[in-house]
Structure 1
Amino acid sequence: MLSNPVLSEANLLIALGVRTHCQDCKDRSATPNSSWSNWEGFDCGSNAPGLDGLEIKKKWQRKLTMYAGTGTQKALEAPCCAQLVDAGQTVWNLCAPRPSPGPHKLRESLPLTIFLRNRLKYALTGREVTTIVAQRLIKVDGKVRTDNTYPTGYMDVISIEKSGEHFRLLYDVKGRFVIHRITPEEATYKLLKVRKTAVGARGVPYIVTHDGRTIRYPDPQIKVNDTVKFDITTGKITEFVKFDTGNLVMITGGRNMGRVGTITHRERHVGGFDIVHVKDVLDRTFATRISNIFVIGEGSKAWISLPKGKGTKLTIAEERDQRRRQRAAEA
């Protein structure tokens, strides 16, 4: 049985196109007197044909199977960073928009529908989002995107030129996407982590970044795990920062996701994962895999503006005291 009050048995049968009233007495108030998976008849005593519980169950299962191939995912199965469902919240929607194939992984992306409808509240329905993007009003990294499920991800710059707004996608200390508002000057560039360096055909060197870009003829000093400053308008690298001790980093995976600190040292493990130790502004140290490290600045100066909190994770008691101080200040 379904626990969602909106998806009661009667509503479920109506959604499936099955008659829920008695065919003999035409009593629409009559309801099934047992589970639809174990059909016995109506409350009025009739056992009219046309409402077989096994057929209904098979039809519902076919509908669920059909969802799997139509680019749809359930809201509860959506990535936690998308923040579609809060703890203790009743899920009223069966499905959530599934991100299209693109530069970011499925579990690390935020479709434009969620960005415009759920976060910015610029639309009430998915159809309104489709209308907005069809007018070519939304740009991601300087390019117009008309796909309402286009996957935006970490460090992407989303611009709405008609309103003059620019946003950068970052993480908070709880691992959720943050819609960080930025200035037009900052919207002209983004930071890219180097995932691969290689030499292609005819000896052309190139690098591959975390968002799937391939940039040819980079600086020979750029290595894997370094961060480059990419100019969105020209498509060229303007600066780069080395993955080195003392530089500012943000964690993009694991339990410390969203935290910001400086690299203290790196443990090398042959045949395994290198471990990087990081210290935040409160002198709290933590460690994570090197794949979760994203360099965002040289020294203690960040190349981008950071959201509220500056990537500093507080304990539960510190968060409580902070809320008390805010309430006292408001009173």
Structure 2
Amino acid sequence: MSKKGGSNHYIRMRADKRLGVVGRKSVMWLLAPNPGKHKKSESISAGVLMRDVLCRVQNLHEAKKIMNSGNFLVDGKKVKEPKYSIGLMDIITEVAEKKSYRMSLDGPKLVPKEVKSESAEKKYLKATGKATVTGGKTQITFHDGRTYLGDKNIHTGDTCVFAIPSFKLAGHLKFAPGARCLVTQGKHIGEIAKLDKVIARPGSHESEAQLSGDSGEFVTLVKYLFVVDEKF
């Protein structure tokens, strides 16, 4: 019988360069992240993060040992699966090392950036969908697949700041002129700039945004923007 489902591994040399894994020629295969939270092209498995990015272990067996001991947290919760999908804005905590990281962008690369303990208690989530569900309640869908029954003032494109691991709403950043935005795709990926205005395009053309940052003024697609605050 043929094997069904996605592969558990993929060739290291073909890994998206945005994932920032080291030693691309040293080992042929990378452990693929489980599907679900983040797109495969925009995520990295927990085991590969520990071995090839944080360089805490020599192999996946050692990574699993640390995970099983409860010393590896994602968004404040223990993770014991080396294939667990990790992506943009996830909060990583190494309990024994007393270090925390936010998955962010360094240019086009998805990288863990060390943060202080108070910053590790908050997670930024971009609202990517909004619907009315049973009982007339408003359900918000976020970029990592989470959903939240929130108020009607949260709109698609806004960012919600949640306390972790409780995931109680701690802040709301509106997508509006003057907002501070991280560019997550396109030519200016990794840049943080101020939103000047949204440019609506006729027909099926996607809306664009004009921003100003360290590289000057530029235009990119609205869907590439992730609102952040000065604490980011």
Q: 1:85 to 1:234 in 2, by over 3 A?
A: closer
Name the CA shift for 1:204/1:281 in 2 (closer, same or farther; >3 Å): same
* Aligned match of 2:80: 146
Q: More deviation in 130-139 or 222-231?
A: 130-139
Take 1:249 and 1:107, find their aligned partners in 2: how far apart are those partners? 22
Whether 2:174 is the aligned partner of 1:237: answer no
- The one-letter code of the counterpart of 2:93 is S
Structure 2 counterpart of 1:200: 133
Equivalent position amino acid for 1:203 in 2: G
Residues 1:111 and 2:48 aligned together: no
Correspondence 1:75 to 2:12: yes
User: Which digits, 9 at most, give the CA deviation of each residue in 1:174-219, with x for residues without a partner?
Assistant: x002221111111111111101111111222110011111011x13
- 1:201 counterpart SS class: coil
Match of 2:180 among 248, 268, 272: 248
Distance 2:6 2:205 in 1: 37
- Give 1:208-219 correspondences, 5 Å limit: 208-216=141-149, 218-219=150-151
The answer to whether the 8 A contact 1:75-1:85 is kept is no
Which of 195, 198, 210 is matched with 1:277 structurally?
Answer: 210
Is this contact kept in 2: 1:266–1:276, CA < 8 A?
Answer: yes
Name the structure where strand makes up a greater proportion of residues: 2
Structure 1 residue 163, shift from structure 2 partner? 2.0
Deviations 1:212-259 (CA, angstroms, capped at 9, x unpaired): 11011x132111101111111331212111111111100011121101
Give the TM-score taking structure 2 as reference length: 0.93
2:70 alignment partner, SS class = coil
> Which 10-residue stretch deviates more, 240-249 or 264-273?
264-273
Q: Does 1:265 align with 2:193?
A: no
How far 1:85 moved relative to its partner? 5.9
Q: In structure 1, what residue type is equivalent to 2:53?
A: R
Gaps of 5+ in 1: 1-64, 305-331
Give the conservation status (yes or no) of the 8 Å contact 1:156–1:169: yes
* Cα distance in 2 for residues equivalent to 1:73 and 1:147: 17
Aligned to 1:76, the other structure's residue is in SS state helix
Say if 1:195 and 1:208, in contact at 8 Å, map to a contact too: yes
**Contact 1:263/1:276 (8 A) holds in 2:** yes
In structure 2, which of residues 58, 62, 85 is the aligned counterpart of residue 128 of structure 1?
62
Compute the displacement of 1:78 (Å).
Answer: 1.3
Change (3 A) 1:98 1:203: same
**Residue aligning to 2:225:** 293
**CA-CA distance at 1:67 after TM superposition:** 11
Which structure dedicates a bigger proportion of its chain to helix?
A: 1
The one-letter code sitting in structure 2 at the alignment partner of 1:212 is G
Equivalenced residue count is 230
Q: Residue type matched to 2:101 in 1?
A: F
User: Which whole-Å CA distance do the structure 2 matches of 1:213 and 1:66 have between them?
Assistant: 30
C-alpha deviation, 1:75, in angstroms? 0.6
Q: Which runs of 5+ in 2 are unaligned?
A: none
TM-score by length of structure 1 reads: 0.66
* Alpha-carbon contact 2:38-2:86 (below 8 Å) kept: yes
Across the aligned residues of Structure 1 and Structure 2, the Cα RMSD in angstroms comes to: 1.9
Larger RCO (CA within 8 A; separation ≥ 6): 2
Distance 1:235 1:151 in 2: 19
